Structure 1
């Protein structure tokens, strides 16, 4: 089974770590897990973050050149299907549908979203391209119920929609956390939603006596100065670890007492899965996307604000045994739903619907 793989938002070989890159790599490994030979067909990034018509036009021209090249490559290589990851209005798949048509092979998508409101305005051209790509898919694997709602609403006749749970790129659990370390925050420092989560964290910590907690922040980015300013009132209670590689990040999880991340507009958040896999309980808000990866528990709604998050933090700080039990429930949840083997089987089933896999 020879598959072409493409991620228009960020190729899995990109230098900058992110959840999107990690998920792309995990998908390739899951496809290989079921015996597929996977070719990264293109590294063209189609993202337009500002709604610039000129940028969109230039990317569409580059995509046209890629299509010609890839049809020839796919014919020579004997690709059986094309799989694209993360098609949406700011980074549409401008390549996969045309190549799949040219080769007469199935076209599948993983994590796509529809945004009718973007069909007018500065992203209109790209939004229409993303809709066309979604319409062309024989199978769409959706990761969240939030995406599934619009996918079901607008699905063309005959399209198959399959729930693929977000998953870690491993088939076993890491060592269990000692739960003896500080509270952990693990997130990049970017403007917008990430900074909004950091703001909520600062508001929450201000409601808790400083002698009851310590907190480490793993992450870096363009907004580091702003994050440091938010955390300055807490002095030495907070330690900035900077960006960590995979091994160092795993070490941080294996000593953390809690993971604290509100999750403003997170698609789902692999960090939650990584923490829970190590048996670290999570304090987060009950948000769409985030709830897709959290073990059943008590997560306050966003409108409850910082006081509700502070109450949850103190509940764990004051009751170590409950913290340990919550961590074990989280670990069991990841083992049951969010590891490589389960994801690989779901992908196999979807490919089998197109006649590619058995």
Structure 2
């Protein structure tokens, strides 16, 4: 089918790399691999750092101008899509474009990676929250990317229109990075952390990691840091200089080899939706020690492909690290299981199959009589 796509949180051509941009591109790639024709209908970005009725009213007005432009193009070319698909919607990034076009052209409308924070119903984000809720109520199919988000959507999305669509990746580059058999883990254990270096949750993850490793200075380990950002110097200063290697930001093409060369990826995952890095590491045959946050347990099997601890719990995170550093064979076991797990559950092929079913469900729901929906 012909699918019109937009990503109001971060368009696919945004210059700043992120897990969100990567996931959006993967969704388009997977849909195409499943035989669908996908066109980016708009690169309009509704996301704003700050919220207010006045600010978001202006964003809505800009979005509606984009609706008129797209509608005129479709009428001129006599080529409307079979489905309008929006990726990543919430109160900071509402979607006014998809619902408006879906109503105007009587199209099925679907949302992937929807989340909802009821506490934003009032206050500075009330306008965006209401707009996101309207889109959710209009949608013929809605997918959360982990079970925690799905729980918050039940209030506005009927069960027959709500799914959990687990994330996926193109595992080929990560498999290719593992040349021959990976050498057994040994002291000093080679640890790797990959993440943007900015204030907020990312910096807090680095703080938790540093505090955990500080408790393990008597053990043999070395940490590689990959990432860059406005607080890079603050991040680097958290760790002992003789125990770290700082590589800065690397291109996506260079990351698979880094995962494959390390024994363990370590990331506390403060407020992470699921942690694309954790999925990439496992695809390269590297186990993880991470925080048990939101969708992390949906992509990491506790005790099998990784060791998880409660979000922000320094002592528990350190205990998991200590267990692996003292017993390097655990890292080998986690890595072998991780590679098989990603291949079976989170590959591009698995994602394409799930997306294909989801798109067809949206179309089927749209065709159903209104009186039958929600039952």
Pick the TM interval, shorter chain: over 0.9
CA contact (8 A) 2:273 2:293 kept: no
CA positional deviation for 1:287: 1.9
Alpha-carbon distance in structure 2 between the residues aligned to 1:300 and 1:279:
21
- Tell which deviates more after alignment, 108-117 or 311-320: 311-320
Alpha-carbon distance in structure 2 between the residues aligned to 1:171 and 1:203:
35
CA contact (8 A) 1:63 1:94 kept: yes
Residue 294 of structure 1, aligned match among 290, 300, 307:
300
Q: Does the residue aligned with 1:47 lie in a helix, a strand or coil?
A: coil
CA contact (8 A) 1:179 1:258 kept: no
Show structure 1 runs of 4+ deviating over 6 A. Answer: none
1:50-74 Cα offsets, whole Å, 9 max, x none, are 2244431221111010011112223
Q: Does the residue aligned with 1:153 lie in a helix, a strand or coil?
A: coil
Q: Does the residue aligned with 1:284 lie in a helix, a strand or coil?
A: strand
> 2:161 maps to what in 1?
160
> 1:98 maps to what in 2?
100
Matched, 1:315 2:323: yes
> 1:276 maps to what in 2?
282
Normalised TM-score (structure 1): 0.93
> 2:272 maps to what in 1?
266
Alpha-carbon distance in structure 2 between the residues aligned to 1:86 and 1:30:
16
CA contact (8 A) 2:170 2:347 kept: yes
Alpha-carbon distance in structure 2 between the residues aligned to 1:173 and 1:241:
19
Aligned residues: 353
Residue 354 of structure 2, aligned match among 337, 346, 356:
346
CA contact (8 A) 2:110 2:362 kept: no
Q: Would the alpha carbon gap of residues 48 and 355 (structure 1) be closer, same or farther in structure 2, given more than 3 Å must change?
A: closer
CA positional deviation for 1:127: 0.7
Structure 2 residue ranges without an equivalent (≥5): 366-375
Alpha-carbon distance in structure 2 between the residues aligned to 1:249 and 1:179:
20
> 1:138 maps to what in 2?
140
> 2:262 maps to what in 1?
256
1:217-236 Cα offsets, whole Å, 9 max, x none, are 100111212212222xx112
CA contact (8 A) 1:49 1:90 kept: yes
CA positional deviation for 1:170: 4.1
Residue 229 of structure 2, aligned match among 213, 217, 221:
221
1:109-156 Cα offsets, whole Å, 9 max, x none, are 001012222121001111100111111110112210011112223214
Alpha-carbon distance in structure 2 between the residues aligned to 1:339 and 1:110:
18
Where in structure 2 are the equivalents of 1:1-358 lying within 5 Å?
1-75=1-75, 76=77, 77-156=79-158, 160-170=161-171, 174=175, 175-176=177-178, 178=183, 182-209=190-217, 212-231=220-239, 234-297=240-303, 298-302=307-311, 305-355=313-363
